[in-house]
Structure 1
Amino acid sequence: MDFNAVRMFVSVAQTGSLSAAAERLSIPLPTLSRRIRELEQQLKVQLLERSVRGTKLTDSGMRLYEHASRGIEALIEGEQAVISDQAQLKGRLRLSLPPAFEPWWDVLAAFQRQYPQIQLSVYTTARRIDLIEDGVDVALRVGTIAHETLVARRMLTYRHVLVASPALIERLGIPDTVEALHSYPCAVWTQGGSATWQLGDQPFTPDSILSTNDYAHLRSRALAGDVVTELPPFLAANAIREGTLVALLADHPLPEQQINLLYPSHRHPSAIVRAYLDFSQGYLGHLASRWN
């Protein structure tokens, strides 16, 4: 059964005439009349008795109206509820974040203060998830994006920082060249295998004493004076300001990193998703200033 035709039939029954229903629905009268005839042909019954004084429901038409009107009203109520939720930004937002991405905790806390009726479900993983299969609305990714099924909203760029503790520097001195790092205990972030640091135009592969996919672990070992390592600026900035870590080889910067928020390209972003994207982008100027 054609839902749109049934909706037109209900409108005719409620207004009492084809012309009034056509006006209410903002469609041409011939189109409405044709769709009602097609519905009658499909059901093989007459639904309306037409006369110069208007239309009247047949017994079959009355039976259809009693059932269809309840369904149409329920659908309209559902549609209005969805529109209302979107207007009030009420609902659930499902997000994916990398592990130890501490600055985004501030973003999410500020977002919920502004939109208290939005519930957040946050899934933390280093795995490149499938947004559709994993049921995620928006994922945060670090690095360049090349995926035709995803839309990427760039948030900001930053560089990691090579660091060591004052205690390690006092023991071994400050490295003045990239090659000098061969004399230092190094720890690297990796998800398996060796890692290479691109320091300016010089690639350097440390003989690492520790490899891990946890930047919080690397920061802990650097603060303890055990290793030289590279950290995201949001994990290093406070320690550098406080003097518990020292930035090394500033004239050989690590490459820029991108932060992107991703959502599926074939899915129209809801008002909640759009609000999250816009809020995050606006909040990041304040956030990034704390890393410098």
Structure 2
Amino acid sequence: MGPELRHLRYLIAVAEHGNFTRAAEELRISQPTLSQQIKQLERVVGAQLLDRSGRGVRLTDAGEAYVHYARRALRDLAAADRAVLDVADLSRGSLRLAMTPTFTAYLIGPLVREMHTRHPGIALEVREMTQDRIEASLLADQIDLGIAFEGPHLPGVLAEALFTETLSLVVTAHGAGDAAERHGAEGTGTGTGTGTGTGAAGERRTLPVRSLADQQLALLSDDFVTRGHVDAYLAEHGVTPPIAVEANSIQALTEIVQRTPSLATVLPDAVTDDHPHLVPVALDPPLPSRGVTLLRRDSAYRSAAARAFVRLVRRVVEERGYAV
């Protein structure tokens, strides 16, 4: 008799925990049962897979090789299960999606609304992750698609360009006028955009970066990629504005700035699309833009739900006017 799926799961759990007791607790079986099942697997395989001689438990060389293929087998079987459940007419199915925190602030709402409206039978699992976790989760087949920034990416992760994200100073509508007067901002004369952060005749105001020297800011904390992006820009231009507030949530920043006209923040322009009381004010020179990409695992099975989502995200990006 060959190894069963439970044997593979048991071995992987012990390898990950390095301990029979914790692995047994996670698997919700007794430790003696777990130990017996591992020994049974070793008899079937004909090799010792675990080294039990030390204080902890670790894989032998044979165990390392075996676990590599055991993980792959479980991933392939999970993909096979999803393929069987996949229905081409999208009356049912599932999709596992992850994105970096920036996109949960302005993109996930429109995407889920459109997906649920068009395909209500598709169950969505949405996670917020850092970019490195998104790529690792794609490779481990824990998610189907990710939305993050352009490369470099891990081997085995494919990226498709979606749009270009621009960042600006974000203030209240009232604060935009005050900032323009205080710093002598000039209109761009383009008359384009959402109509926010504008002066006379629909001109969008532009502030010189040096004007931020005495502008109190509320910024994301330094565990966000966006904060590093902003800090690098300010350092390049020799500007050190007073940081009045740091927050680890974009939603918190939008609430703070919306209710405190004396404060400004730096966020993607798109965040203001769904916040009518906030407006973007362009800086001169402009903040560097960032390429946004759709990530997936190379050679991964692409379900009907995943294919539909890719089409939908491109449609939403186009409809919302995000530059490609």
TM range (shorter): 0.5 to 0.7
Which residue of structure 2 aligns with residue 148 of structure 1? 155
Shift of 1:142: 3.2
Cα deviation 1:121-159 (Å, max 9, x = unaligned): 111234632224471111111344432221112211120
Within-5 A mapping of 1:97-246: 97-99=99-101, 100-126=104-130, 128-129=132-133, 130-131=136-137, 132-133=139-140, 135-165=142-172, 166-167=174-175, 170=178, 173-174=182-183, 176-192=207-223, 195-196=230-231, 198=233, 202=237, 204-223=239-258, 224-237=260-273, 239=275, 242=276, 244-246=277-279
- Corresponding letter in the other structure for 2:100: P
- Corresponding letter in the other structure for 2:255: S
Quickly say closer, same or farther: Cα 1:152–1:251, change in 2 above 3 A.
same
1:283 equivalenced with 2:319 (yes/no): no
SS in 2 for 1:191: coil
Question: Out of 300, 310, 316, which is 1:267 matched to?
Answer: 300
Distance in 1, Cα, partners of 2:263 & 2:232: 15
Distance in 2, Cα, partners of 1:85 & 1:245: 42
Cα deviation 1:148-201 (Å, max 9, x = unaligned): 2211122111201212232486388236532221111112223348751537x8
Shift of 1:285: 0.6
- Corresponding letter in the other structure for 1:85: D
Identity of aligned residues (%): 20
Within-5 A mapping of 1:6-25: none
* TM-score (structure 1 length as normaliser): 0.60
- Corresponding letter in the other structure for 1:276: F
Cα deviation 1:40-72 (Å, max 9, x = unaligned): xxxxxxxxxxxxxxxxxxxxxxxxxxxxxxxxx
Cα deviation 1:62-114 (Å, max 9, x = unaligned): xxxxxxxxxxxxxxxxx9x9568332233111111233433322112212222
Q: Is the 8 A contact 2:98 2:129 kept in 1?
A: yes
Q: Is the 8 A contact 2:220 2:249 kept in 1?
A: yes
- 5+ residue gaps, structure 2, are 2-79, 185-206
Within-5 A mapping of 1:51-62: none
- Corresponding letter in the other structure for 1:170: D
Shift of 1:281: 1.1
Distance in 2, Cα, partners of 1:109 & 1:168: 31
SS in 2 for 1:108: helix
Distance in 2, Cα, partners of 1:126 & 1:226: 31
Distance in 1, Cα, partners of 2:249 & 2:289: 20
SS in 1 for 2:96: strand
Shift of 1:252: 2.5
Q: Is the 8 A contact 2:176 2:281 kept in 1?
A: no
Give the alignment's Cα RMSD to 1 decimal: 3.4
* TM-score (structure 2 length as normaliser): 0.54
Cα deviation 1:205-255 (Å, max 9, x = unaligned): 53322223322222222222142211222222455xx5x445434443221
Q: Is the 8 A contact 2:269 2:280 kept in 1?
A: no
Quickly say closer, same or farther: Cα 1:256–1:227, change in 2 above 3 A.
same
Which residue of structure 2 aligns with residue 255 of structure 1? 288
Distance in 2, Cα, partners of 1:187 & 1:141: 23
Quick check: which has more Rg, 1 or 2? 1
Which residue of structure 1 aligns with residue 189 of structure 2? none
Counting matched residue pairs gives 209
Distance in 2, Cα, partners of 1:85 & 1:96: 20
Distance in 2, Cα, partners of 1:164 & 1:218: 11
